[in-house]
Amino acid sequence: MLVEEEIIINAPADKVYQIVKDMGRYPEFIPSLKEVTVLENGPGYTVTKWVSKVQSFTLQWTERDTFFDEERRVEYKLVEGAMKKFEGKWIVEPQTDGTTKVHLDVDFELAMPALRDFLGPMAKKIMRDSLKSLLQGIKAESERV
């Protein structure tokens, strides 16, 4: 299932992109995230472990984040976790009026049949709400003076 969201941020694209890349700081300004730990940091990538509270569930996963700095793009892909598929991208685009548009998408599939049956109809809405929360947190952090 593909879910996409966008937001306009009143800050320069380079500043926004640096905040997007600094995933270890996300729990400081995104309430649903309990922990993001950088497990590996290499040239142009990180491997991060995430702990998130989604409604009454605590989800944990590890992803590989690949940075394309010249394009202000981050692609991520599941390394391990409770999902069969979890991958997507951040795109940070400067706008002509000095603002920045941030696009975030995720393509995911739940692994466990019981979880798919239980969450099936709600999964897309839950993921959309999670993306909106991430984008709102990035916006708030980017627009802080």
pLDDT in tens, 7-51: 999 999 999 999 999 999 999 999 989 999 999 999 999 999 999
Structure tokens that stand for 40 in this block: 């590996």
pLDDT the model gives residue 115: 63
pTM over 0.85: yes
- Is residue 62 within 8 Å of residue 39, measured between CB atoms? yes
State pLDDT tens for residues 64-99: 999 999 999 999 999 998 788 999 999 999 999 999
**What are the C-alpha distances in Å from 85 to residues 11, 91, 108, 111, 120?**
33, 20, 5, 8, 14
- The CATH number given to 2-143 is 3.30.530.20
Q: How far apart are the first and last CA of the chain?
A: 37
Residue 67, both tokens: 């940075």
